[in-house]
């Protein structure tokens, strides 16, 4: 550590220029690195994942991650769902034409009273659209816009049809469901940290940990960009890099800066104080960072071994997976109708009902 510190002090301009260039390059590739992250999650060998995969295959992706569209109509007084059954059936046909390939059901096609409210005046239908291949999680937010446009002005027994469902309600609220981006979160965290550091130091030294954090985060994005060229990387990584990197960088920089100030107070000056700070606090930072890295690698190795055991066990059972009542509810193919419940439970019982002897390991 002493030799490295003395070399850095002897080549200050070269080291500073190197980190400036590396930081600028990291900032330039941070956007492409984030876009190259694999926006899908998979947990092979897990019962829930395997069950959902079979559901998606059986129903061509509908009912998996895409939220259902729910047109609702409140019938005029004196009109029952049975009286408006023809209009309701026409509404379902219109939904199917608007969203080709979607699964549509309602009172018009089934006569099931589960689609009618207790007072008999409020009736709804359900449409599960096909997943959008351009969406990272297999949902289809464009389906809401298409169906909403198609049902504009539509009526049942003279009553207007209103589109409900998660996507429709979210669109009507006008709120952005994506939340703040990683850059905004990092900036907010950085501003808060700078306020605390300014209070602690009471000088421009507060900027030093922030500079270290900026360099560390952007250069890590450079490493991530290289990593995504050879393997799939989860989008969660960008938040870990920005937020955990911000905290760890400030923490480690604080250790070194505080130690350097102590050496200055003890009478050491210039490079001597820097060398002494790196011999003590710097060594502790290297040891701590190495320990964290080893711990994360051990966690990754343990998780991959556990997943491998589950995959081998699943293969030995002929690809069957266990499930419970949650999976049966998840497989409900259409909606609250009795046909939906019976077929879903049949799938669960016939294909996925055998208990998992090693589910605790998976």
pLDDT at 319: 44
pTM of the model: 0.53
The model's pLDDT over 245-272, given as tens digits with 9 standing for 90+, comes to 788 888 888 888 888 888 888 888 888 8
pLDDT tens digits, residue range 98-149? 988 888 989 989 999 999 998 888 999 998 888 777 766 667 778 888 888 8
Q: pLDDT, tens digit, for every residue of 311-325?
A: 444 444 444 433 333
Q: Is the pLDDT of residue 72 over 90?
A: yes
pLDDT confidence of 7, banded at 50, 70, 90? confident
Tell me, what's the pLDDT at 252? 84
Q: Which residue has the tokens 């266990």?
A: 322
**Nearest-angstrom CA–CA distance, 159 and 153:** 10
Q: How confident is the model at residue 93 (pLDDT cuts 50, 70, 90)?
A: very high
Torsion of CA 309, 314, 318, 321, to 10 degrees: 170
pLDDT score, position 303: 55
Quote the pLDDT of residue 90: 92
Q: Which residues contact 268 (CB under 8 A, 6 or more apart)?
A: 276
Residue 175 has pLDDT above 60, yes or no: no
* pLDDT band at residue 5 using 50, 70 and 90 as cut-offs: confident
> In this structure, are residues 34 and 350 in contact, taking their beta carbons and an 8 Å threshold?
no
pLDDT of residue 65: 63
Mean pLDDT of 36-59: 74
pLDDT of residue 125: 92
Asked if pLDDT for residue 69 goes beyond 80, the answer is: yes
Q: What are the percentages of helix, strand and coil residues in the chain, rounded to 5?
A: 65, 5, 30
Rg (CA), the chain: 29
Contact 106, 126 (CB under 8 A): yes
Q: pLDDT per residue over 265-314, tens digit each?
A: 888 888 888 888 888 888 888 888 888 888 877 876 665 555 555 544 44
Q: Report whether 322 contacts 47 (CB < 8 A).
A: yes
CB neighbours (10 Å) of residue 5?
17
Share of the chain above pLDDT 90, in %: 10
Q: Which domains does the chain have, with CATH numbers?
A: 2-43+181-316 (no CATH), 68-164 (3.30.70.1430)
């Amino acid at each position: 550590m002493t030799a490295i510190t003395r070399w850095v002090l002897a080549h200050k301009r070269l080291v500073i220029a190197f980190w400036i260039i590396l930081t600028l390059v990291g900032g330039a590739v941070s956007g492409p690195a984030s876009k190259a992250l694999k926006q899908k999650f998979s947990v092979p060998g897990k019962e829930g994942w395997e069950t959902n995969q079979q559901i998606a295959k059986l129903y061509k992706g509908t009912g998996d991650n895409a939220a259902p569209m729910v047109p609702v109509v409140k019938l005029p007084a004196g009109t029952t769902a049975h009286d408006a059954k023809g209009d309701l059936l026409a509404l379902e046909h219109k939904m199917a034409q608007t969203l080709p390939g979607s699964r549509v059901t309602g009172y018009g096609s089934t006569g099931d009273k589960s689609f009618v409210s207790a007072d008999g005046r409020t009736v709804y239908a359900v449409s599960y659209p096909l997943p959008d291949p351009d969406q990272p999680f297999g949902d289809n937010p464009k389906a809401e816009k298409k169906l909403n446009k198609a049902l504009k002005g539509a009526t049942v027994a003279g009553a207007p049809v209103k589109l409900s469902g998660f996507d429709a309600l979210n669109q009507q609220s006008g709120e952005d469901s994506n939340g703040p981006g990683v850059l905004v979160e990092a900036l907010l965290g950085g501003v808060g940290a700078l306020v605390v550091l300014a209070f602690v130091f009471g000088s421009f030294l507060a900027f030093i940990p922030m500079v270290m954090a900026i360099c560390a985060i952007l250069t890590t994005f450079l490493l991530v960009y290289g990593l995504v060229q050879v393997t799939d990387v989860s989008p969660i990584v960008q938040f870990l890099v920005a937020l955990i990197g911000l905290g760890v960088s400030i923490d480690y920089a604080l250790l070194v800066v505080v130690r350097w100030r102590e050496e200055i107070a003890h009478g050491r000056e210039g490079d001597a104080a820097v060398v002494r700070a790196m011999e003590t606090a710097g060594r502790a930072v290297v040891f701590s960072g190495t320990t964290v890295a080893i711990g994360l690698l051990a966690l990754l190795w343990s998780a991959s071994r556990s997943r491998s055991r589950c995959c081998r066990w699943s293969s030995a059972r002929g690809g069957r997976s266990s499930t419970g009542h949650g999976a049966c509810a998840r497989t409900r193919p259409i909606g609250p109708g009795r046909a939906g419940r019976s077929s879903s439970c049949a799938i669960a019982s016939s294909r996925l009902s055998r208990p998992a002897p090693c589910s605790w390991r998976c």
